[in-house]
Structures are given as C-alpha cells and as structure tokens.
Amino acid sequence: MSLRLQLNLLVASLIALFTAVVLAFQIVDTRRSVREETEAANSVATRLLTYFVETYAQTSQPIVLQSLERLGRVRSNEITLRDSDGHTVYRSPQSPYKIGRDAPAWYAAMVTPEPMRSELHFADSVLDIDANASRAVLDGWDDTVILLQLGVVAMLLGNALVFWILRRTTRPFDTIVRGLEEMQAGAYHTRLAEFKGAEAGAIARAFNRTAQAIEDNLDARREAVEATLRLEQSRELADAVQIRVEDERRQIAQELHDETGQGITAIRSMALALVHRFDDGDEQVRDTAQLIADTAATLYASTHDLIPRLRPPSLDALDLAAALEDRVAGWRREQPRHEFVLAIGPLPDDLGESFSLAAYRIAQEATTNALRHAQAQRITIEVAVDDRQLRIDVTDDGRGLAPDWQRPGHYGVRGMRERARALGGELAIETQETGGVRVLAHLPLE
C-alpha cells in the first residue's frame, strides 16, 4: 500500500472517529435536554391547568372548553378533554413548528424520554395533559444531520489536503531514486538539483555530499595506485641502475687489476732491469730507474687498494664474513685512531650474492658515514641472521645526527634504504639515547 493511501486512510479514520465521538456526546446531550425540557413544560402545563380546573371546578364543561380553546397549544404538551362517556371533546392544536416533519423513528427511540401524562378530573370531565417531545427530538435530529454533514466535509477537505501535501512532498522521490540507480550503475558524477521541500532538500544535499565523497575517495585511490606504480617503477629503475653500477665497478676493478696492474708491474720490472744493468754503470740512470721502480710500486699499491673499494674481491671468491673482515682490516690500517668492533653471527651458506652485496654496501656506507661525520672513537658493526632476517647493525659513539641531516644533495642514507627495500627489507637511522648514531637494516631472507 502506498504511503499516500495509508495516510489518507489514517486521516479519514481519525475524522470519522472524532465525528462518531462528537455524535455520541450530542445524542446523550440531546436526550438529557429533551427530557428536561419536556418535563419542565409538562409540569408547568399541569400546574397551570390544575389551578384552572380548581378555579372552575364547579362550573360546567363548556366554560372549560371555551377557556382551553382560548389557551391554545402549550409547548411540548398535548391537551385532551374527554366527557363522562370518554368522548374527546377537545384536543389542543398541532404545533406549527417544523410542521409536517419528524425525526427518524430509530433516532426518536434513542432520545425520546419516558411518556408523561397528568389526568385532571373535574365535574363530569377528564383533562389529559400528555408530554410530546417530538419537536425537541426533531431539533436534536436536525443538529445531528448538520454535524454529520460537517464531518463529511471535514473528511473530504482533510483527505484532499493530505493528498495534496503528500504529492508535493513525495514528488522529488522519483528523481532521488533515479539518481541512486545512476550511482549504482557507476555514474558517480550524478548530482541532484535543490528541491523545494525541507526533507527532500536535505536528502538531496546528503545525496550530493555522499556522491562527492565517493568521487573524492575514488580519485584518492586512483592517485594512490598511480603513486605506488610510479614508486615501483622508480625502484625498479634504481635496482637496474644499482646493478649497472656494480657491473661497471666490477669491470673497472677487473681492468685495473688485469690491464693497469699488469702494466705497472711491467714498468716496475723494466725499471728494476735497468737498475741491475746499470749497477756498475751510470749512477744517474740507475737512480732514475730505481725511482721509476719505486713510483711504480707505490702506484701499484694504491691501484690495488682501489680494487677492493670498487668491488669487494672476497665477495666473489669468499663469503660476506670474509669480505667484511677484509674491509675492516683495511679501515684499521687506514684509520688507526678509531676502534673497530666487528661481530658476525653464523650466516647461511646460501646467502646469495644480492644479500651479501647489499649487506656489505650498507655496512660500508654506514661506517664511512661514521668516519666522516660522527667524530666517533668506536664503531661497531654487527651482521647476523635473526628470525630468517639478515640484520646489519652499525653504531658509533659520536655526536649523533645534526638537525639538518636530511638536507638534499646527500645520497648515502637514501642509497642504503633503497638497497634494503629492493630486497623487501627496511632501514632505520637514528640518534641513540647514548648519543651516537645507529643504522639498523633488516633484510627478510624468505
């Protein structure tokens, strides 16, 4: 059943109920007032005629008859005069009030009071005074008809008003339903116009806000997906660059070792041969050859030192632990004023080159940073496997991170983080409570 029909039925029922209640009260009230009026009129007529009869008790019937005819009708009473034989010699005239009309019998039965009759005997006659409530009952009926008519008019008007108001209020609902269907079909740009009614207007505004929120949400999600894609692409690029850089370093190290190293060695050998040849000869030539041999030796040593920096050779041949020990030994030689502590836990045999290289480079950059920026005494490097995660932990006892440590143009920390993330791990750098910096990376081995 539609809302409109339901409300119309409700209003009609309420008005009908109200009319019925008023009608019931009206009938009860009419019944009471008809009885009071009839009783009062009958009692007045009886008292008047008793006095009349007592006054003329000894007189003959014609005088009473004449007086009754002059008296005429007494309201709500029928007056009848009977002679000694019981024949009616006088009947008071009919009331001209609403003559020819009577209330319906069922209504009259409800409101008409008990019959009231007074009989006055005098001389040889009887005077009957009967209460007649038919006019008062008719008045009550007429009021009832008016009340019923008003009820019907109120019902019609009330329903018409409800129908009109509801039609006005619910008219935008079709548009709202259409809008919801469009949204369901994916048209999230759908917006509703401003409706006139307060409720429909509020629904339209809420609808538009919801549609806007959905659109914003979708845009945000799309942007997030695009950003993730871009990030992944840039990570892939960074990985590719990293691999290229490592390749280049490997090749340069190889070249330095095979070509430059061999060349320098050859120069040194030739210079030494000259030294031997001129052992007893030209002293100037011998010294110059000796100088060339010494310079070549120095050059060889520094070239050789350069090779492990470009490419940790031990990572090729040995394992991560050996490579780190090698590098730390180098630092101990180069930086005698610093104390280096290296702690390497048991590492799996199948660590793989990418993990070994990442761990080595992270430890190398973190230690280099500590040497460059920390003014530290002691640098501790720990590498271990906890919970199937390779942990690289480098701490120093230096002055900690400066407030502007993240300023642009510095790439070491970023590079370490990229290496960790490329292998699905994380890297954190922070100033410890004790003052120095801690670089902690976790690379999941699974």
* Minimum CB distance to Mg ion, residue 191 (Å): 54
Pairing of strands 339-344, 378-386: parallel
> Minimum Å distance from CB 363 to Mg ion?
13
Q: List strands edge to edge, sheet with 125-131.
A: 88-91, 77-82, 125-131, 117-122
- CB 437 → ligand ATP: shortest distance, Å? 4
Q: How far is the CB of 396 from ligand ATP (least distance, A)?
A: 5
Per-residue CA distances from 285 to 277, 281, 292, 298 (Å): 10, 8, 11, 20
Name the nearest CA neighbour of 321 among 351, 299, 291: 351
- In the complex with ligand ATP, the residue whose CB is nearer, 173 or 411, is 411
Q: Name the minimum Å distance from CB 240 to Mg ion.
A: 22
Candidates 219-227, 309-317, 367-375, 376-384; binding stretch for Mg ion (CB under 5 A): 367-375
Q: Establish if 410 lies at the interface with ligand ATP (CB under 6 A).
A: yes
CB of 252 to ligand ATP, least distance (A): 19
Residues 336-395, interacting with ligand ATP (CB under 6 A): 369-370, 372-374
160 binds, among Mg ion, ligand ATP, none (CB under 5 to 8 A by kind): none
- Does residue 245 touch ligand ATP according to CB under 6 A? no
Asked if residue 369 binds Mg ion (CB under 5 A), the reply is yes
Amino acid (1-letter code) at residue 96:
P
Total chain residues near ligand ATP (CB under 6 A)? 15
The DSSP symbol for 377 reads: S
397 scored as a contact of ligand ATP (CB under 6 A) = no
Rounded to a whole number of angstroms, the minimum distance from the CB of residue 395 to ligand ATP is 9
Q: Is 238 in the site for ligand ATP (CB under 6 A)?
A: no
412: contact with ligand ATP by CB under 6 A = yes
Estimate to the nearest angstrom the gap between the alpha carbon of 107 and the chain centroid.
Answer: 64
For Mg ion, the binding residue among 158, 308, 313, 412 (CB under 5 A) is 412
- Other C-beta atoms closer than 10 Å to the C-beta of 388 total 9
Residue 402 touches which member of ligand ATP, Mg ion, none, C-beta under 5-8 Å by kind: ligand ATP
Backbone angles phi, psi at 92, to 5 degrees: -60, 150
| Polymer length in residues for the chain | 446
Q: Which is nearer to ligand ATP, 398 or 425 (CB)?
A: 398
Q: CA-CA distances (angstroms) from residue 208 to 54, 145, 189, 214?
A: 96, 55, 9, 10
Burial of 83 (0-12, 13-18, 19+ CB in 10 A): middle
CA 342/CA 57 separation, integer angstroms: 153
Q: Minimal CA–CA distance to 117: which of 37, 45, 32, 34?
A: 45
Q: Is 415 a binder of Mg ion (CB under 5 A)?
A: no
Vertex 142, ends 138 and 148: CA angle to 5°? 140
Residue 386: its H or E element? strand 378-386
Q: Which stretch binds Mg ion (CB under 5 A): 219-227, 234-242, 369-377, 388-396?
A: 369-377
* Sole window of 115-123, 145-153, 321-329, 404-412 interacting with ligand ATP (rule: CB under 6 A): 404-412
Which residues make up the interface to ligand ATP (CB under 6 A)? 369-370, 372-374, 396, 398, 401-402, 405, 410-413, 437
Which residues make up the interface to Mg ion (CB under 5 A)? 369, 412
